[in-house]
Amino acid sequence: MDTEKEFLSNYHIEDYERPSVTADVAAFMIRTEDKTSYRKNPENKLLLLLIRRGAHPFKDMWALPGGFLQKGETVEECALREIAEETTVKPVSILPVGVFSEPDRDPRGWIISNAYASIISEESVRQTGCDDAADAQWFAVSFTCSADGNYLLTLEYEDIRLEAVLAAEKTRFGRTTFRILESGGLAFDHAAIIAAALSALRGEAKNYEAVFDFLPETFTLTAMQKVQETIMNVSVLPANFRRMVSAYVEETDEYVRGEGHRPARLYKRKK
């Protein structure tokens, strides 16, 4: 009968075949567009960071930032590291989306991916400017349910337009998985990962958690509502929105002036 110590010294973990493990990150940002009139409030756009692959496989196609898990870090730390390497900004928060482990999902071999959604604040990007590299760009996101029950994921940056089609498959427990019908020029199974990340993000925006992460320290309630509506792709009456978030925010004494209409009070998140 071995002792535990003896057992461990004789144990060779290398004897078993193992997969490679990666973390892939869908990094979202909301950009405030330019005003169309001196008195109109600006629109918002939901953006997703994609990297143009410089190497095979899927060379020159667009993919989520991500990379291999390194010894000594957790998968979550790996996701944070990868997003930091690509953007130079620290994500406000990070949300697990799922594990993608279909054996044939990567032509390089047996590689399973831990997917995360992360939220990057517009503020932090404006400060450090992270999209100067031509191979990393923020794409405008559209994700809608089409008439035939499939989902259409559209990603646009200047004249580049990626259109993926996904079949939504309801699994147990109200979860939905997405099967790629057309990848739309996205590498690997990243179209499915992006769809899952968007679903997760929308789920978390319901309780306003995710909404705050897109916003600066202080914000107007209208700005908050626009963020919520941009993520969720629905609209609410302003009066009702104010009532619903009133428990989560607190007033400051400051106002936004000079907008061509009544000044809006700034709020901050209630701890």
Partner DNA sequence: CAAATAGTGTCTCTAAGACAATATCAC
Partner DNA sequence: GTGATATTGTCTTAGAGACACTATTTG
Query: Which positions touch its own copies (CB under 8 A)?
Result: 2-4, 7-8, 11, 13, 16-21, 55-59, 68-69, 71-76, 93-96, 98-99, 101-103, 107-112, 114, 172-174, 204, 207, 209-210, 213
Closest CB 32 distance from its own copies, rounded Å: 23
Give me 77's structure tokens: 């730390």
- Phi and psi torsions of 53, nearest 5°: -70, 130
- Report, in Å, the least distance between residue 263 CB and DNA: 5
Binding mask 23-52 for DNA (x = CB under 7 A): --------------xxxxx-----------
Residue 264 sits in the site that holds DNA (CB under 7 A): yes
Contact 211, 205 (CB under 8 A): yes
Q: How far is the CB of 132 from DNA (least distance, A)?
A: 32
- Helices (DSSP H) in 88-186: which residue ranges? 122-128
Q: State in angstroms the smallest separation of the CB of 224 from DNA.
A: 10
Among 63, 222, 232, 268, binds DNA (CB under 7 A): 222
Buried b (16+ CB within 10 A) or exposed e, 226-254: bbbbbbbeeeeeeeebbeebeeebeeeee
Question: Which of left, alpha, beta for 238 (phi over 0: left; psi -120 to 50: alpha)?
Answer: alpha
Per-residue x/- mask for DNA, residues 107 to 146, rule CB under 7 A?
----------------------------------------
Contacts of residue 146, defined as CB under 8 A and 6 or more positions apart, other chains included, come to 152, 165
Euclidean distance between CA atoms 13 and 16, whole angstroms: 6
Chain residues binding DNA by CB under 7 A are 37-41, 220-222, 236-240, 242-244, 255, 257-265
